Chains A and B, each alone.
Chain A
Amino acid sequence: MANQVTLTIDDLTVTVPEGTLVVDAARKAGIDIPVFCYHPKMEPVGMCRMCLVQVGRPMVDRATGQPVLDADGQPKIQFSPKLETSCTIPVSEGMVIRTNTPEVLRAHRDIIEFLLTSHPLDCPICDKGGECPLQDLTRAYGPGQSRFLLDDKMRLAKHVPLGELIYLDRERCILCARCIRFQDEIVDEPVLSFYHRGRSMQIVTYSDPPFDSYFSGNTTDICPVGALTTADFRFAARPWELKNNASICTQCPVGCNTTLNTRREVKSGGKWVVKRVMPRQNELVNEIWICDKGRFGYHYAESGERILSPHVRKEQGLVPVSWDEALDLVEQRLRQAGAGTVTLAGGRLANEDLFNLAQVTDHLGGRKLLHTQVGGGEYVQRYGLGKGSNLGELGKGDAILVIASDLQEEAPVWWLRVKRAADRGAALMVLNPRPTRLDPYARFIHHYRYGEELEALGRLAAGEGELAEAAEALRSAENLVIFYGSEGLGLAETTALAREAAGLLAGSGRAGKVNSGLIGVWQQNNTLGAYDMGFRPEADLAGALSGSGLAWIAAADPAGDHPALEAALKQAGFLVVQDLFMTRTAQMADVVLPAQAFTEREGTFTSGERRVQRFYPAVAAPPGPLADFSIAARVGLRVGIELEGASAATVMLRIAASVPAYAGLDYALISEVSEQWPIIGREDRYYGGTGYDNHQGLGVQLQPDAVTDPDGEVSIAMAAPAPLQVPEGAVYLAPVTRLYDQGLTLKPSMKIVGQRMARREVWLNPETAARLGFGAASLVTLEGEGWTASGVEIRVDEQLPPDVLLAPRSVGIPATGPEAVRLRPLVTEPEA
Chain B
Amino acid sequence: MLVRGLLTTLKAFLTEKTVTVQYPEQKRMVRTRFRGRHVLRRYEDTGLERCIGCSLCEAACPADAIFVEASENSDEERYSPGERYASTYEINMLRCIFCGYCEDACPTEAIVLSDNYELSFHDRASAIYTKEMLLEPVPPGGKPTPQRTPPGVYTRAIPEMSDPTD
Instruction: State whether A125 and B69 are in contact (beta carbons under 8 Å apart), knowing that A158-B156, A169-B157, A266-B88 are contacts in the complex.
Output: no
Interface string of B70-103 (1 = CB under 8 A from A): 1110000000001110011000000000000000
Q: A158-B156, A158-B157, A169-B157 are in contact. Are A124 and B52 (CB under 8 A)?
A: yes
Interface residues of B in 36-95 (CB under 8 A from A): 52-56, 58-59, 67, 69-72, 82-84, 87-88
Q: Which residue of B lies closest to A266 (CB)?
A: B88
Q: Which of A125, A265, A267 has the most CB of B within 10 A?
A: A125
Question: Which residue of B has the minimal Cβ distance to A264?
Answer: B67
Q: Assess the B83–A238 pair: CB atoms within 8 A.
A: no
> CA separation between A241 and B64, bound complex, in Å?
12
- Residue A437 is within 8 A (CB to CB) of chain B in the complex: no
Partner of B82, one of A125, A234, A240, A265: A125
Instruction: Decide yes or no: A234 and B72 within 8 Å by CB, A125-B82, A158-B83, A158-B157 being known contacts.
Output: yes
CA distance A237 to B68 in the complex (A): 9
Tell yes or no: A787 within 8 A of B by CB.
no
A435 at the interface (CB under 8 A from B): no
Interface residues of A in 234-253 (CB under 8 A from B): 234-235, 237-238, 240-241
**CB nearest neighbor in B for A234:** B72
Q: Is the Cβ of B56 less than 8 Å from the Cβ of A125?
A: no
**Cα separation A651 to B97 with both chains bound (whole Å):** 48
Contact with B along A6-20 (1 / 0, CB 8 A): 000000000000000
B149 touches A (CB below 8 Å): no
A157 → B minimal CB distance (Å): 8
Q: How far is the CA of A126 from the CA of B82 in the complex (A)?
A: 12
Inter-chain contact B155/A235, CB cutoff 8 Å: no
Q: Is B107 part of the contact surface with A, judged by Cβ < 8 Å?
A: yes
Which chain A residues lie closer than 8 Å to B72 at the CB level?
A: 234-235
**CA separation between A129 and B84, bound complex, in Å?**
14
| Contact call A235/B71, Cβ cutoff below 8 A | yes
Judge whether B54 and A125 touch: CB under 8 Å: yes
Evaluate contact between A235 and B88: CB separation under 8 angstroms. Answer: no
B162 to chain A, nearest CB (A): 10
Q: How far is the CA of A266 from the CA of B68 in the complex (A)?
A: 9
Any chain B CB within 8 A of the CB of A120? yes
Residues B69 and A122 in contact, CB atoms below 8 Å apart = no
Q: Which residues of A216-256 have CB atoms within 8 Å of chain B's CB atoms?
A: 234-235, 237-238, 240-241
Give complex CA distance A623, B104 in Å. 42
Asked if A120 and B157 make an inter-chain contact with CB atoms under 8 angstroms apart, the answer reads yes
Question: Which residues of A have CB within 8 Å of B155?
Answer: 158
Query: How far is B107's CA from A241's CA once the two chains are assembled, in angstroms?
Result: 18
The reply on B135 being an interface residue by CB < 8 A is: no
Report if A682 contacts B (CB, 8 A): no
Most chain B CB atoms below 10 A, which of A122, A158, A159, A265: A122
**Nearest-neighbor residue (CB-CB) of B155 within chain A:** A158
Given contacts A125-B82, A266-B69, A267-B69, contact A238 B54 (CB under 8 A): yes
Q: Which of B52, B55, B158 contacts A241 (CB 8 A)?
A: B55
Interface contact B158-A124, CB-CB below 8 Å: yes
Per the bound structure, the CA–CA distance linking A205 and B129 in Å amounts to 46
* Neighbouring B residues of A240 by C-beta, 8 Å: 59
Contact B157 A235 (CB under 8 A): no
Contacts of B58 in A (CB 8 A): 241
Quote the shortest CB–CB distance from A286 to chain B (angstroms). 31
Partner of B83 from A159, A241, A267 at Cβ < 8 Å: A159
B121 to chain A: closest CB distance in Å?
21
Question: In the complex, A43 Cα to B37 Cα: how many Å?
Answer: 55
Chain A: which residue is nearest B67 at the CB level? A266
Q: Which of A122, A238, A267 contacts B87 (CB 8 A)?
A: A267
Does the CB pair A125–B83 fall under 8 Å? Answer: yes
Residue of A nearest to B163 (CB): A150
A124 B56 Cβ-Cβ under 8 A: yes
Q: Which residues of B contact A129 (CB under 8 A)?
A: 54
A125/B157 contact (C-beta < 8 A), A158-B83, A267-B87 known = yes
Residues on A with C-beta less than 8 A from B108 are 124
* Complex Cα gap A267–B53 (Å): 14
Chain A proximity of B85: nearest CB distance (Å): 9
Q: How far apart are A136's CB and chain B's nearest CB, in angstroms? A: 15
Which one of A124, A129, A240, A266 has the highest number of Cβ atoms from chain B below 10 Å of its Cβ? A124
Cβ of A320 to closest chain B Cβ, rounded Å: 31
In the assembled complex, how far is the CB of residue A266 from the closest CB belonging to chain B, in whole angstroms?
4
Q: Is there an interface contact between A235 and B84, defined as CB atoms closer than 8 Å?
A: yes
Query: CB distance B55 to A126 under 8 Å?
Result: no
State the CA gap A126–B72 with chains docked (Å).
12
Bound-state CA distance A124–B60 (Å) is 13
Taking CB atoms, residues of chain B closer than 8 Å to A125 are 52-54, 70, 82-84, 157-158
Which residue of A122, A126, A169, A235 is within 8 Å of B53 (Cβ)? A235
Which chain A residues lie closer than 8 Å to B67 at the CB level?
266
Q: Mark A120-140, 1 if CB is under 8 A from B, else 0.
A: 101011100100000000000
- Which residues of the other chain, B, contact A266 by a CB distance below 8 angstroms? 67, 69, 87-88
Name the residue of chain A whose CB is nearest to the CB of B80: A125
**A145 CB to nearest chain B CB (Å):** 11
Q: Which residue of A lies closest to B56 (CB)?
A: A124
Complex contacts, A265 vs chain B, CB 8 Å: 69
CB distance from A158 to the nearest CB of B (A): 5
Q: Is the CB of B107 within 8 A of A124?
A: yes
Query: Scoring A residues 420 to 446 as 1 if CB is less than 8 Å from chain B, else 0, what string do you get?
Result: 000000000000000000000000000
Complexed CA–CA distance, A241 and B87 (Å)? 16
A404 to chain B, nearest CB (A): 45
CB distance from B5 to the nearest CB of A (A): 60
Set of chain B residues within 8 Å of A158, measured between Cβ atoms: 83, 155-157
Q: Complex formed: what's the CA distance from A442 to B67 in Å?
A: 54
Cα distance, A506 to B96, chains bound together (Å): 70
How distant is the Cα of A235 from the Cα of B69 in the complex, in angstroms?
Answer: 9
* Min C-beta distance of A28 to chain B, whole Å: 33
CB closest chain-B residue, reference A263: B69
Assembled-state Cα–Cα distance A644/B141 (Å)? 68
A-contacting residues, B104-135, CB 8 Å: 107-108
A125-B83, A158-B83, A159-B83 known; A238 and B55 CB under 8 Å?
Answer: yes
Chain A contacts for B87, CB-based, 8 A: 266-267
Instruction: Determine whether the beta carbon of B59 is less than 8 Å from that of A238.
Output: yes
Q: CB-CB < 8 A to A237: which residues of B?
A: 70
Tell me how far the C-beta of A167 lies from the nearest C-beta in chain B, rounded to whole angstroms: 11
CB distance from A173 to the nearest CB of B (A): 14
Contacting B at CB under 8 A, from A267-325, are 267
A265's nearest neighbour on chain B, judged by CB, is B69
What CA separation (Å) do A238 and B70 show in the bound complex?
A: 9
A241 vs B66: C-alpha distance when bound (angstroms): 12
Which residues of A have CB within 8 Å of B71?
A: 235, 267
* Cα distance, A234 to B74, chains bound together (Å): 14
From residue A810, how far is it (CB to closest CB) to chain B in Å? 32
Smallest distance from the beta carbon of B50 to chain A beta carbons, Å? Answer: 12
Report the minimal beta-carbon distance from A232 to chain B, rounded to whole angstroms.
Answer: 13
- A-B complex: 10 closest residue pairs judged by Cβ atoms: A124-B54, A122-B157, A266-B88, A125-B84, A238-B55, A124-B107, A235-B70, A122-B158, A235-B84, A158-B157
14 A-B pairs besides A122-B158, A125-B158 with CB distance below 8 A are A122-B157, A124-B54, A124-B107, A125-B54, A125-B157, A158-B155, A169-B157, A235-B72, A235-B83, A238-B55, A238-B59, A241-B55, A266-B87, A267-B88
What are 7 sample pairs from A and B whose C-beta atoms fall under 8 A apart? A120-B156, A122-B156, A124-B108, A129-B54, A158-B156, A240-B59, A266-B87
